[in-house]
Structures are given as structure tokens and as C-alpha cells.
Amino acid sequence: MDKSELKVTAIKDGTVIDHIPANDLFKVVRILNLENLDNQITVGVNLDSKKLGKKGIIKISDKFFEDNEINKIALLAPDANLNIIKNYEVVEKRSVQLPDMICGISRCMNPKCITNSEPMITKFEVVSKRPVALKCCYCEKITDAQHIVIE
């Protein structure tokens, strides 16, 4: 266990999401809709990381995500790791994988796209995973990594 993890309390059962870029930590919280969970959640931000400089970490007790739920965060945190904890032990380590389709989450960068004027959910085909490039299923324009705006 690396030292930064010790700065936030260990959990008995649940999921630890590690290696989130510090700047995007709260966006990841939003994508996962953690505000509306009743579970115990510990959030650490600006922790030292060899890989990212400053990183964020989220520990959620008694919560195990479905792939389609958690993979959405790859949009912002492609290097994020998932540690599945059972009885204080890491029983599984996983990395996140961006899905082929993304619904909601990001806005389309084309100001003339219908999704920016109707109350509707955006839909993108992931045409490149690294760097991320999203093709809008409506206006067919590409939203690149620099222009991803989380809804």
C-alpha cells in the first residue's frame, strides 16, 4: 500500500478509485453521482503521485460498480485504477475502459448542435480512446479531449 493511501482511512468493504487527476476529482464525483449515495465516502485530493504529480482518490464503502457505471470516468481519468476491497483486503484490481458509446456526461462542442438547444441527452460514439475523441450521434461533429465539458 503506498503512503498516500494511508492518509485517508481504510475501508472494510467497497471500492477505491485511485489515480484520478486532482483537477478532475470533483467532476468524477459528479459523473458517478456520488452526491446522491448514502454510503460512507472518503475523498482525498492533491495527494502526491509519482505518475500524475497530484492525484485524487475516492473510497466508497459497500459499493461495487457495474462496468458501464464506472467506465464513464475514463473520459476524465483514463489512468484511474479500481481496487475492490473485501474485508480490508484488495481482492481485485482493475483499470477503467472507455466504452464505445457515451450517453449524457459530456456536452457537444458544436454550438449549432441540436443537443445544445433541446432538453435532451447527448450521445457520442467514441472514435478514439487516447486521446479521447467523441463523435456526436446527432450533428456528427467531433468533440476532442480539450473540449469535453461535463454536464
Partner 1 sequence: MKNKSLISITDFSTDEILRILEIAEEFENNPEPHLLDGKVVATLFFEPSTRTRLSFESAVNRLGGRVIGFSDPNVSSVSKGETLKDTIKIVSNYCDLIVMRHPLEGSSRYASEVANVPVINAGDGANQHPTQTLLDMYSIKKTQGRLDNINIFMVGDLKYGRTVHSLLQAMSPFNPTFHFISHPKLKMPDEYKRYLDKKGVKYYEHEQFTNIISEADIIYMTRVQRERFSDLMEYEKTKDMYVLHNYMLENAKPTMKILHPLPRVNEISQDVDSNPKAYYFDQARNGVFARQAVISTVLGLKK
Give the residues lining the site for partner 1 (CB under 8 A): 108, 110, 112-115, 117-120, 136-141
Smallest separation (angstroms) from partner 1 to the CB of 106: 15
Smallest separation (angstroms) from partner 1 to the CB of 105: 17
Instruction: List, in sequence order, every residue forming a beta bridge with 21; answer none if it has no partner.
Output: 55
* CB closer to partner 1 out of 13 and 125: 125
* CB closer to partner 1 out of 98 and 113: 113
**Closest Cα partner for 4 from 42, 56, 40?**
56
**C-alpha–C-alpha distance, residues 10 and 61, integer Å:** 10
DSSP secondary structure letter of residue 72? G
Smallest separation (angstroms) from partner 1 to the CB of 133: 11
In angstroms, the first-to-last Cα distance of the chain is: 34
**C-alpha–C-alpha distance, residues 137 and 139, integer Å:** 6
Smallest separation (angstroms) from partner 1 to the CB of 142: 8
Smallest separation (angstroms) from partner 1 to the CB of 101: 14
**C-alpha–C-alpha distance, residues 117 and 75, integer Å:** 23
* CB closer to partner 1 out of 41 and 126: 126
Peptide bond into 111 cis (omega under 30): no
* CB closer to partner 1 out of 83 and 122: 122
* CB closer to partner 1 out of 92 and 140: 140
